[in-house]
Amino acid sequence: MAVRLDIELTESEKAAMAAIPSTSWFTQFIYRNAESPIHPNRKLAENNEMKQAMVSDWVTESVKGKRVLDLFSANGGFSIMAALAGAKEVVGVEFSEERIKCAQFIASTLKSDCKIEFIHGDVYQIENYFDEPFDVVLCLGGLYHIADPAFVLRQIGGLTKERLLMQTSQVLPIPGNWAKFIVRRQDKTQGGMTSIRGGYGTWFYSPGCLRELLLHGGFDIVEERQPSILKRQRFPWFFASCEPLT
């Protein structure tokens, strides 16, 4: 889903936006007088629409006046949502330099009071990046990319004061507490099977496994959401709004 911004771009901003490669636009942004390029994988739009529809109320309710950490921030779709919802400060962490540049461009057009920063880094390393915990942490669409999710969730636990909003993928069918790691065949033009480092491996967790992982990270699930049973096959997403255990 495109994010609509009630902002008019100058001619030089339009030119700067057109120069950003389309692969950087994980989320599309539509300005009053211009549209960003669309990511070449059109399925992403439908996927994003589902995610945003399922978490935008959680984001809006939890970030007002808060310091927010957006992990796996891509080109800033959820960081910008948090800034527009009144966050005091947003820090995104993303390891694609191109997506970071894209996110910085969008942030520069907002002229918002929110302090927005994007760190070109690895979520595996977050405990080395920050001295102070954040009020709210967004971990939307990323836990399935992480080779050791339990380790990363412990780090997230150490950085979350009030709320963690999490979205990841789940296995179908879903009983039990387990997970599988699937290495996908790459596009033919890229040749062969990829390694985990190639970034195409993905974790699929049972909801029971996710609950245990979140507990291990020091979180209590306050609310869970999943797409309706009919949509779950196409969008095997699991959403959790969590608070740190006291």
* Residues at the interface with ligand SAM (CB under 6 A): 26-27, 48, 51, 72-74, 77-78, 93-96, 99, 122-124, 140-142, 145
At its nearest, how many Å lie between ligand SAM and the CB of residue 101? 12
At its nearest, how many Å lie between ligand SAM and the CB of residue 78? 5
Choose between 95 and 200: whose C-beta lies nearer to ligand SAM. Answer: 95
Choose between 74 and 209: whose C-beta lies nearer to ligand SAM. Answer: 74
Choose between 94 and 135: whose C-beta lies nearer to ligand SAM. Answer: 94
Choose between 14 and 235: whose C-beta lies nearer to ligand SAM. Answer: 235
User: Phi and psi of 58, rounded to 5°?
Assistant: -60, -45
Q: Which residues contact 83 (CB under 8 A, 6 or more apart)?
A: 90, 107, 110, 112, 114, 116
Amino acid making up residue 134: F
At its nearest, how many Å lie between ligand SAM and the CB of residue 116? 15
Q: Which residues contact 164 (CB under 8 A, 6 or more apart)?
A: 136, 137, 139, 156, 214, 217, 219, 240, 241, 242, 243, 244
Choose between 145 and 211: whose C-beta lies nearer to ligand SAM. Answer: 145
At its nearest, how many Å lie between ligand SAM and the CB of residue 92? 9
Residue nearest to ligand SAM (CB): 141
Choose between 14 and 50: whose C-beta lies nearer to ligand SAM. Answer: 50
At its nearest, how many Å lie between ligand SAM and the CB of residue 99? 5
At its nearest, how many Å lie between ligand SAM and the CB of residue 11? 29
Q: Say how many CA atoms lie within 13 Å of 170 toward its Cβ.
A: 29
